[in-house]
Amino acid sequence: MELVLEILSELGAKPLMSRPINGTLFTASGISPQAQQVYYDKLQALVNGYHMPLIDFQQYTNDRYFSIEQGSHTSRKGWVIVDQELYAFYRGVIH
């Protein structure tokens, strides 16, 4: 991931988003909420090191309606949220 961020930085790109962890599935699989938080913290620190914006949708980690199944496919509700964030980003207003 660092290599990708380095290349994107050199190209002047500004990647923006990351999918939220499926907290319900991860917790059921034995991955504690504390361990899930480590992922978000490390992701944020890594992206901050390249001075890039990040929307990780962490607040939707346990929202069973953000994705359409246990995997990572965004639901209709999720796409509305993603679209709102994209619109804000391109307007220059990052939430």
- Local confidence pLDDT in tens for the 95 residues of the chain: 899 999 999 999 888 888 898 888 899 999 999 999 999 999 999 999 999 889 999 999 999 889 887 666 889 999 999 999 999 988 887 65
Residue indicated by tokens 């992206």: 47
Q: What is the pLDDT of residue 94?
A: 65
Dihedral sign computed on CA atoms, order 68, 1, 94, 91: negative
C-alpha–C-alpha distance, residues 48 and 54, integer Å: 8
Helix axes of 33-48 and 2-11: crossing angle, nearest 10 degrees: 30
CATH of the domain at 53: 3.40.50.1110
What is the domain count for the chain?
1
Range of the domain at 36: 2-91
0.95 surpassed by pTM: no
Pair 36, 57: CB distance under 8 Å: no
